[in-house]
Structures are given as C-alpha cells and as structure tokens.
C-alpha cells in the first residue's frame, strides 16, 4: 500500500526539492497563506509513481494440461434432497363493512425437484458435487394466494451416465437431453381455507410444508462410442486414434500414457460419423483390478464392436489377442464375442514385418497390418470399420431400436 502523510509546512521544502512533485506542489498554497475554515488537509503520497513497482492483482493459478486430465471422474456418490414445500397460512378476509369475511389463507408452494440432465458438452462427472439441495417453495398468502413453487435444480451429467440406488439401476442416460428426476420436491402445506366446513366456519388450522425426497445415488459413467480400441499398454492405440480422427490424446513411448478414455469421430464419405473410443491399456489380471483394473473395463461395455490392437514388434504378438479376450470374458461373459477386427500395429518396424506371416497363420484370419505412425494401410482399417458400423446399424434397425448417432 502507498504510504501517505498530511501536508504541512515542514514537508514543503522536501516537496519542492523533488522534481516529480513540483507541478503537484504548486497546486497547493504555501504554508503562510490562510486556508478557508471549511478547508481540510489533503493526503499526498511521498513515493514516486514512476519508481514504484507495478503490482497486478493476484490471479488463480492455471492448471497444466497434465493436471486437467487427472480430473476425469467416472463415478460419483451424490446425496440429493428435494426442496421443502411452503407452509400454509391461517388468516381471515378483512374488508370494510364486512366483519365476518371467512378464512382466506392460501396453500404453500411445491418444493423444487432435483433433475439429472444429459449435456453433450460435459465429458466427466468431475463437476458433479457430492450434495444437492432443491429450492424450497414459498409460503401461502392472504386472499387465497398460493405460494410460489421452488425452481427446478438441474444437474448436468455426460452422455452414458448410469444412475443406481444400491444395486438397482434407476436410469440409463445414454442420449443427449435425457432427464431423470433424482429427488421430488415436497408438497406445500394447506391454508386454513382448506379446512372450511359446515360445522367449522372459522377454522384456524394450517399445515406446514412437507420435506422433499432424500436419497443417495451412485452415478457411473460408461463411455458411449461405436468402436472401442482394446489393447495392451503402449500398443499404439492413441497413435491410431490420432491417425484416423481429429482427436488428440497424449502419445508417448512409455506404458499407460492414456489414463482417461478419449473419443474420436471418423467422418465417412456418406456423411456418417463413427465414434471410436481409446480405452486405457489392459494388462493381465485386469479383471482382478490390477493395473487400471475395473475402473475402465466398464467403458468397453457400451461399444457394439471392438478393435483389438496388437503390438507387432514384441515377441509372439498373437498371444496378446488371447489374453485380451480372456480379460474381457472374465469381466463380462460374451463381451469378447462381439463383432471385432484385429489390427496389427507398428508394421513399419523391421522386426514387426517379419512376424506378420506367423500372426496371420496362427489367427486363422487376415489381420489388418498397418502403421499408425506412417499412415501405411489405414484405408483398409477404415473400410473394415465402415463395414462393422453398417452391420451394427442394420441390426439395431431390425430390432426396432434407434442406433447411436454422433
């Protein structure tokens, strides 16, 4: 803070000696001159404005990109309470020359609901708080006036949110705009007008508002995409997603680079869009919660077809497919039998190209050999991806269900 002192005769020579204060000092009268009685001494700064350090107001420190990615949350426990209803009022009608006007106390308003709403811009449950309280309704008024109802409190959740209460699934919010009433607001109280009867012409009874519904919900996020990239850590899944879409997940030469799911969209020539999810790497024993464990195996459940990504540069790459299918089958029966394609990545490396014939012979089917780094043979993968998507759309329409669209 800039220090200041009162103008006095003792400080005048000092002010005249400072060059930067000369214009300001001339604007004030000398100590010998008389000041009006209503005049008050003015505050002057004894520090030079040009010599002081410019201080900006403190700002909130920005989070780095690495820390922002750690804020991905795919499960949350939430306590929700609906708003309390407004109280009823006990009063009587008052009017000139009308002594007995009768009861006219109005009812209280309804408490506000707490509603979960799907927002396509929200990508995780990190913005969802642990507790929510709905808005209370207003009390009733005179002249049979009802109290105002509490406003609805909306909680924005991402697409693919599963709502549970205990072990019971209450809602599956898998489409933009879906809503679920998490907690109902309480009913408003009754005014004394409600209790008017033939045997009681002047009731004074009124009731308070009812409390809102209270419940504990468990929110679970499952990434919604058409295809899921399944593979061991450092198999090149993120590089493959960057090569076929505009998504930009982190790519590095160490395992577990991807810690959160990423979704990229592949644009086809017929204006269709295929969503591909990059799932964090799976290791042996993932169904026993090893590595990243069960936290991200749930994201594969929503994918109607899979892309198994194998690292062709490691010894015996064909064993990776058996291990991946085993982990998926142990997590959920039938998950490994979904329509899929096998992608042999890193074919640009010399040791990888030498193992390609053995891989194709052991799998009994033609694996798509490509290089996400150089873009080699990506067209074949896109054609196979389009075939899987068309088969999925036809199957959904045959069942009478609307397929997922991006």
| Tens-digit pLDDT profile for residues 362-405 | 876 678 888 888 888 889 899 999 999 999 989 888 888 777 77
pLDDT at 152 over 90: yes
Decide if pLDDT at 62 tops 60.
Answer: no
The confidence score (pLDDT) of residue 400 equals 82
pLDDT value, residue 250 = 53
At residue 254, the pLDDT reads: 41
- Are the CB atoms for 112 and 134 separated by under 8 Å? yes
- Using the structure block, give the residue that is written with the tokens 């195996």: 297
C-alpha neighbours within 13 Å on the C-beta side of residue 75: 7
The CATH number of domain 73-221, selected from 3.40.50.10860, 3.40.50.720, 2.70.210.12, 3.40.50.2300: 2.70.210.12
Mean pLDDT computed over 230-236: 85
Please determine, for residue 304, whether its predicted confidence score (pLDDT) is greater than 60. Answer: yes
* Sheet with 305-311, side-by-side order of all strands: 262-267, 273-278, 227-231, 305-311, 340-345, 368-369
**pLDDT in the model for residue 25:** 46
Whether this prediction's pTM lies above 0.85 is answered by no
pLDDT band, residue 21 (cuts 50/70/90): very low
Confidence check: pLDDT of 30 > 70: no
Q: What whole-number distance in Å separates Cα of residue 397 and Cα of residue 293?
A: 34
Residue 242 and residue 225: Cα distance in Å, rounded?
Answer: 16
Q: What is the tens place of the pLDDT at every residue in 240-297?
A: 888 888 766 555 444 444 556 777 788 887 778 888 888 876 766 554 555 455 556 7
Taking a C-beta distance cutoff of 8 angstroms, is the pair 232, 282 a contact? yes
Residue 146 neighbours by CB under 8 Å, 6+ apart:
106, 107, 108, 109, 140, 188
Domain boundaries, the chain: 73-221, 227-398
For 190-198, what is the mean pLDDT? 89
Per-residue pLDDT tens over the stretch 325-349: 888 888 888 888 899 999 988 888 8
Q: Are 277 and 308 in contact (CB under 8 A)?
A: no
Q: Nearest 5°: phi and psi at 26? A: -70, -20
pLDDT band per the 50, 70, 90 thresholds, residue 235:
confident
Residue 375 contacts residue 243 (beta carbons within 8 Å)? yes
- Whether 81 has a pLDDT exceeding 90, the answer reads yes
pLDDT tens digit sequence for 183-193: 999 999 999 88
- Dihedral sign (CA 297, 299, 305, 310): negative
pLDDT above 90 coverage of the chain, percent: 26
Residues β-bridged to residue 5: 44
Computed over every residue of the chain, the mean pLDDT equals 78
Q: Report the pLDDT value the prediction gives residue 215, as an integer from 0 to 100.
A: 95
Residue pair 14/5 in contact by the 8 Å Cβ criterion: no
CATH 3.40.50.300 fits 227-398, yes or no: yes
**pLDDT higher for 239 or 263?**
239
The pLDDT confidence band at residue 100, using thresholds 50, 70 and 90, is confident
For range 43-52, the mean pLDDT: 50
Q: What are phi and psi of 79, to 5 degrees?
A: -100, 120
Confidence tier at 35 by pLDDT (50, 70, 90): very low
Helix H, strand E, coil C: the string for 332-396 is CCCHHHCCEEEEEECCCCHHHHHHHHHHHHHHCCCCEECECCCCECHHHHHHHHHHHHHHHHHHH
Is residue 108 a contact partner of residue 188, using CB atoms and an 8 Å limit? yes
CB of 214 closer than 8 Å to CB of 79: yes
d(CA 217, CA 79) in angstroms, rounded, equals 6
| Confidence bin at 113 (pLDDT 50/70/90) | very high
For residue 352, what are its two tokens? 């990888």
Q: Which residue has the higher pLDDT, 317 or 81?
A: 81
Find the range with the poorest average confidence among 77-86, 173-182, 274-283: 274-283
Q: CB within 8 A of 147, min separation 6: which ones?
A: 86, 87, 106, 107, 108, 109, 137, 138, 139, 140, 141, 188
Report the distance separating Cα 368 and Cα 191, nearest Å: 74
> Is 164's pLDDT higher than 50?
yes
Which residue in this structure is represented by tokens 């006990």? 90
Residue 57: the pLDDT is 56
Percent of the residues in the chain that have a pLDDT greater than 70, as a whole number: 73
Instruction: Using pLDDT thresholds of 50, 70 and 90, give the confidence band for residue 151.
Output: very high
- Summarize the confidence of residues 27-34 as an average pLDDT: 49
């Amino acid at each position: 803070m800039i220090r200041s002192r009162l103008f006095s005769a003792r400080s005048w020579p000092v002010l005249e000696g400072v060059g930067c204060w000369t214009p300001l000092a001339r604007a004030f009268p000398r100590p010998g001159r008389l000041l009006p009685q209503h005049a008050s001494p003015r505050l002057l700064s004894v520090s030079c404005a040009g010599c002081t350090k410019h201080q900006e107001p403190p700002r909130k420190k920005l989070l780095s990109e690495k820390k922002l990615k750690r804020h991905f949350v795919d499960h949350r426990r939430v306590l929700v309470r609906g708003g309390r209803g407004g109280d009823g009022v006990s009063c009587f009608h008052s009017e000139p020359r009308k002594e007995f006007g009768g009861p006219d106390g109005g009812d209280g308003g309804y408490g506000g609901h707490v509603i979960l709403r799907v927002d396509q811009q929200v990508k995780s449950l990190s913005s969802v708080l642990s507790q929510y309280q709905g808005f209370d309704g207003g009390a009733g008024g005179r002249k049979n006036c009802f109290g105002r109802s509490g406003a609805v409190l909306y909680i924005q959740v991402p697409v693919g949110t599963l709502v549970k209460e205990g072990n019971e699934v209450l809602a599956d919010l898998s489409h933009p705009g879906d809503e679920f009433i998490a907690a109902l607001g309480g009913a408003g109280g009754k005014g004394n007008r409600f209790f008017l009867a033939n045997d009681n012409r002047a009731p004074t009874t009124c009731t308070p508002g009812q409390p809102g519904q209270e419940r504990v919900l468990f929110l679970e996020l499952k990434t919604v995409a058409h295809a899921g990239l399944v593979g061991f850590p450092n198999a090149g899944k993120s590089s493959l997603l960057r090569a076929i879409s505009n998504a930009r997940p982190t790519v590095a030469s160490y395992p577990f680079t991807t810690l959160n799911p990423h979704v990229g969209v592949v644009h086809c020539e017929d204006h269709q869009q295929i969503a591909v999810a990059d799932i964090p790497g799976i290791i042996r024993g993932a169904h026993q919660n090893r590595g990243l464990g069960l936290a991200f195996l749930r994201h594969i459940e929503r994918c109607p077809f899979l892309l198994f990504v194998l690292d062709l540069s490691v010894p015996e790459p064909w064993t990776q497919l058996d291990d991946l299918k085993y982990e998926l089958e142990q997590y959920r029966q039938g998950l490994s039998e979904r329509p899929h394609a096998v992608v042999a990545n890193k074919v640009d490396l010399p040791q990888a190209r030498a193992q390609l014939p053995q891989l194709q012979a052991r799998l009994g089917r033609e694996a798509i050999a490509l290089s996400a780094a150089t873009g080699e043979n990506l067209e074949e993968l896109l054609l196979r991806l389009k075939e899987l998507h068309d088969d999925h759309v036809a199957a959904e329409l045959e069942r009478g269900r609307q397929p997922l669209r991006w």
